[in-house]
A and B are shown apart, each in its own frame.
Chain A
Amino acid sequence: MLYQPDRSQYPSRKPDGSLDIDLSSGKYLKLWQGPQHPGITGNMSVELTVCGDEVVEGKTHVGYLHRGFEKLMERRTFIQCFPIVCRICVPEPDFNEYCYAAAVEELAGLEVPERAHWIRTLILEMGRINSYLMYLGGQAGALGQGVIGQWTTYVRDLMLDRFEELSGARIYHMFIMPGGVRDGLPDGFDQRMEETLREIESTLADVKDVMFNNAVFKKRTVGLGYIDPAIVDQYGVTGPTARAAGIAKDVRRDQPYLVYPELDFEPVVGQDSDVFTRADVRRRDLLMSVDLIRQILARMPRSGAVMAPLPNVLHWKIPFGETYIRGECSRGEYGYYLVTDGSGYPRRVNVRGPSYTHAMALLERLIVNCNISDVAALMVSLHTYPPEIER
């Protein structure tokens, strides 16, 4: 059979719609990608059926990181859930802290001080930068370009230093507590943050030269993993992945929260909806976060309370209620659905992480007809974090 340039009809299907794959024919090979940490995508695996070097079917397998966070929280008091939630997403833990805190505050009727809103916004943007820096390193690394990861790890480390001095921890910050934030900014934070932002900008300029203005990178990624804008809503695609398809979805602008209504920004969009465009949208979004942090530091109040007065947290009971709190994280819409029943424990917590929708159905669709060597780059371009799938 001659190679047909239109791969949409390949492999052929049986009359009932299932794929016509005869493994005993010797034409096909089953291959597992993962579940060892395949680069930045974390511990998930894809069961590939390949014909030559072309993927004809990909099945996602998750569960390797299952720790049952949602269930754990049902057995913990409201304050005890606060140190747990950050673990649902390692590279960008702050969204869990924010969404959980905001949900508890809404149901418990806490009035969070203005200054805490600004500090929370600052932390979320800092976390977004970290997440994107990790992504850029992974995206380049998936195509064999290790140097980008070294550079972005360096600047990410500077940002971790800022997190350390602000929150007291580098990875799991546990700083956004129901009621507000633990503390204000340390002395001299603004100046050190400005130095870090400049370093990030200069590194990103290098990344642009070496990664994006790169014939190899373009050759490998332009046109790879095309997501039809028509299926964006169908598949629940959000965040930069949707924006790269030309759909300007951004929770920060569409359903503003915290102090975003007071900040000046426009969602970054792209048109081509391929791996290259998604990487570029994220790079530009990162630069927008740098700008947002400058805006926040210039305008945030410097005095006043950072915590609402809490009831005694050891026996804190929250009346009947349910709420859904959402925010725009680096990968898309992050949400917490919280149900309380008047007891001291959450009745149900459901975490809506964007990784679930992106890594499961969407990846299975995009991976068909992909070259084996591009699978890693494609997976990374969806920017998924498995703990969020298996919370």
Chain B
Amino acid sequence: MSLSDVLSPFSAWKNLFRDPVTIPDPLNDRPGAPRYRGFHQNDVDKCIGCGTCEAICQNAAIDMVAVAEIATKQGDSGLRPRIDYGRCCWCALCVDVCMTSSLSMSNEYKWVDHDPDAFCFIPGVDLKHWDSAELGYRRPEGHRLTGTERVPMGELEPEARADSFVEIVAGYDIEQAKLEADRCVSCGLCVATCPTHMAVPEYIATIRDGDYEQGVRLLYQTNPFSNVCGRVCTHRCETSCAARHEGDAIAIRWLKRHIIDQVPHDRIKQIAAEGRVSEPSRHQVAIIGAGPAGLTAAFDLAKAGHGVTVFEALPAPGGMMRYGIPEYRLPYDKLDEDVDVIRSMGVEIRCNTQVGKDVSIDQLREQHDTVLLAIGLHQGRSTRIPGSEHQDVVSAVELLRRITFGERFDVPTTVAVIGGGNVAMDIARSLARMQRQQHGQVGVTLVALEAEDLMLADREEIDEAREEGVVILPSRGPRRCLIERDAVAGLETVHCVSVFDDQGRFAPNYDDSDIQIHDAGLIVEAIGQAADHALLGESLTEALEWERNRIRIDADGRTSESWLWAAGDAVQGPDVITAVAAGHRIAASMMEAFAGTSAQTH
């Protein structure tokens, strides 16, 4: 210890001559740092109410609540996060995980309120003074807590598939499927979108857990056509997937297929039969048409112990799944597996039995308690342009059916296809394959009325058709079929400026100065289909209520005749999964009608 130890402390007095270090007005002079994790902001228009923020919050500070001004719609639950500042710890995991980047935090420090309940609020809905703050914590670029990129699906290269009907899509292996399943945030927006409300997050979870049998169990709860839907479903679920907003949608369709691919067929049959009522059948149901709607209803009814007979005009069950969808998209043996499970429930399917010819609808009515009409759309529509009555101007559905029958008819070296939907793509790509097999080269021209970005076909169908050599000409309307010496020689088309008028009605507007002629020895019309209602007979047709050429049905699928239900493309459309949903609805509606009534004695 020295004298300096006594004197040195007095150097603290020099601070008497310094300014204070405190900020005179900290409330206004000191804004939060640009990254400050302050009070929440939510862009409610961007928010889809997926609830991922609620799921990740470790304090349970976030609840998803309904908001009066925000409606539930496809891909948006209509719920918005409400945050309880009595629980929030400002960790910003909710911001990091937000699937749309709608949630962020302002750099605001201060919020004074006399009402303690005010601190439980819905950002973006309950307006706050920091809502327009430009600074604050945003998820840093590239900082993601969930996977954004879809695991690529293995497909045959164009050269390998262009002349063969072998299935194009390879399916995920277990490793790939686990990676893809890992990206799912289990929000369930897909469940709400799916017509039959498949338990998508739950069955994707079974892939992560490797519990495929449980996966099959979940699939069969809502859909007996998982082999089919795992390949050709229109996958509207993927359009409402939370992951698609800042990345790729989860490949829900391929994951469904992966589950069904992993379990042996016999085991699938056992799982599907779980809970089957084995008492002798009480009621008898006739189903006309072995397509997805008819067979789904048959599956449900037979599983519940009712007697079901399905009448199918064509030689094999499946309807459009077999006679419309080409084999390279849906191999027949996979469809057969799904149908086999349905048959194993005790469903009797009578093929080559045309109602109206082999058996009358009145007979069906007499011998059964109820009848379901699920006949689909098997008649092609015609453009009715000059020359379209020629025998080499054919409908796409007819041609596709012939291909399924295995007919090896000769395809001319040049073909024109009219239409821009998926059926047009199916026939164009099928004919291109046959041309390549027969002539070694492709000569298919497809003309669509719509512009390229408005074409009804799936994007991947258009791209793949082009890869296989099909020439696709959007914005062209057919004018006439050129017939030379009694044979089809070509198709004349004209540029289509717009398809719809101001009121949104179908009224194509053509530019007559732009005319092209496409060589074609065969012209295929793929502009839509119609149902063939001839089997109903005159008196029933008269008795039923109709709605624009379709039988009018109620919400349960029941027609104005109490014993007759109708479902599928013929009354609803447009795809397999909608038909499956209708099948379930009708089975439930029939069973409700059966309740309390005794079966007819047959």
Q: Which residues of A contact B (CB under 8 A)?
A: 76-77, 79-84, 147, 154, 161, 164-169, 172, 174, 182-183, 186, 206, 209-211, 213-216, 218-219, 305, 307, 310-315
Contacts and interface: CB of A to CB of B under 8 A. Distances in A.
Contacts of B183: 312
A182 B145 CA distance: 11
B93 A79 contact: yes
A169 B105 CA distance: 12
Interface stretch (B39-47, B50-58, B115-123, B468-476): B50-58
A310 B147 CA distance: 8
Contact of B11 (A168, A183, A210): A210
Contacts of B105: 168
10 contacts: A164-B35, A165-B34, A168-B92, A169-B90, A210-B9, A214-B8, A215-B1, A305-B142, A310-B144, A314-B185
B12 A210 contact: yes
Contact of B147 (A83, A215, A216, A311): A311
Given A79-B56, A83-B89, A183-B35, A209 B11 contact: yes
A210 B13 CA distance: 10
Nearest to A164: B33
Chain B interface, DSSP helix/strand/loop, else mixed:
loop
A314 B146 contact: yes
B113 to A, nearest CB: 22
A306 to B, nearest CB: 8
B11 A314 contact: no
Given A84-B58, A154-B21, A172-B89, A315 B9 contact: no
Interface residues of B, number: 42
Interface in B135-183: 137, 140, 142-147, 182-183
Interface in B92-148: 92-93, 96-97, 105, 137, 140, 142-147
A79 B1 contact: no
A169 B142 contact: no
Given A174-B91, A213-B5, A206 B12 contact: yes
B328 interface: no
B8 A209 contact: yes
B555 interface: no
Given A164-B32, A215-B5, A147 B91 contact: no
Contacts of A84: 58
A209 B182 contact: no
Interface string B202-217: 0001001000000000
Contacts of B4: 213
A314 B55 contact: yes
Nearest to A222: B1
Contact of A83 (B8, B32, B93, B137): B93
Contacts of A216: 9
B332 interface: no
B543 interface: no
A167 B186 CA distance: 30
Nearest to B208: A315
Interface string B531-543: 0000000000000
B184 interface: yes
A168 B136 CA distance: 8
Given A84-B58, A183-B140, A313 B33 contact: no
A210 B145 CA distance: 50
Given A164-B32, A168-B33, A210 B97 contact: no
A161 B146 CA distance: 31
Contacts of A311: 147, 182
Contacts of B33: 161, 164-165, 168, 186
Interface string B1-43: 1001110110110000000010000000000111111000000
Contacts of A81: 58
Contacts of A182: 96, 140, 143
Contacts of B142: 305, 307
Contact of B5 (A82, A168, A218, A305): A218
Given A167-B35, A305-B142, A315-B208, A80 B58 contact: yes
A166 B35 CA distance: 7
B12 A312 contact: no
Contacts of A210: 8-9, 11-12
Contacts of A80: 56, 58, 93
Contact of B146 (A214, A219, A312): A312
A313 B146 contact: yes
Given A218-B5, A312-B183, A174 B92 contact: yes
A147 B12 contact: yes
A206 B18 CA distance: 14
A311 B185 CA distance: 11
A313 B144 CA distance: 10
B1 A218 contact: yes
B8 to A, nearest CB: 4
Contacts of A83: 58, 89, 91, 93
Given A169-B90, A210-B12, A305-B142, A312 B56 contact: no
A37 to B, nearest CB: 22
A154 B93 CA distance: 31
Contacts of B36: 164, 168-169
Given A84-B58, A210-B9, A312 B35 contact: no
Contacts of B146: 312-314
Nearest to A179: B145
A311 B92 CA distance: 18
A64 to B, nearest CB: 21
A110 B32 CA distance: 33
Nearest to B32: A164
A292 to B, nearest CB: 23
Nearest to A87: B89
Contacts of B97: 313-314
A213 B9 contact: yes
A210 B9 CA distance: 4
A364 B33 CA distance: 44
Contact of A313 (B35, B56, B137, B186): B56
B134 to A, nearest CB: 15
Contacts of A215: 1, 5-6, 9
Contacts of B205: 315
A76 B147 CA distance: 21
A247 B203 CA distance: 59
Closest 5 CB pairs of A and B: A83-B91, A80-B58, A213-B8, A165-B33, A168-B35
B505 to A, nearest CB: 47
- Max count, chain B CB within 10 A of own CB: residue among A81, A166, A215, A218: A215
B89 A186 contact: no
A216 B252 CA distance: 75
Given A206-B12, A314-B97, A169 B37 contact: yes
- Max count, chain A CB within 10 A of own CB: residue among B11, B184, B205: B11
A148 B7 CA distance: 17
Given A183-B143, A206-B11, 14 more contacts: A79-B56, A84-B58, A165-B33, A165-B35, A166-B35, A168-B33, A168-B105, A172-B90, A182-B143, A183-B140, A210-B11, A215-B1, A311-B147, A312-B145
Contacts of B182: 311-312, 315
Interface in B272-329: none
- Max count, chain A CB within 10 A of own CB: residue among B32, B97, B143: B143
A216 B7 CA distance: 11
A99 to B, nearest CB: 18
Given A82-B91, A183-B140, A218-B1, A310 B145 contact: yes
Given A165-B34, A183-B35, A314 B9 contact: no
A210 B37 CA distance: 38
B58 A312 contact: no
Nearest to A147: B12
Contacts of B58: 76-77, 80-81, 83-84
Given A210-B12, A213-B9, A314 B35 contact: no
A154 B22 CA distance: 8
A315 B21 CA distance: 48
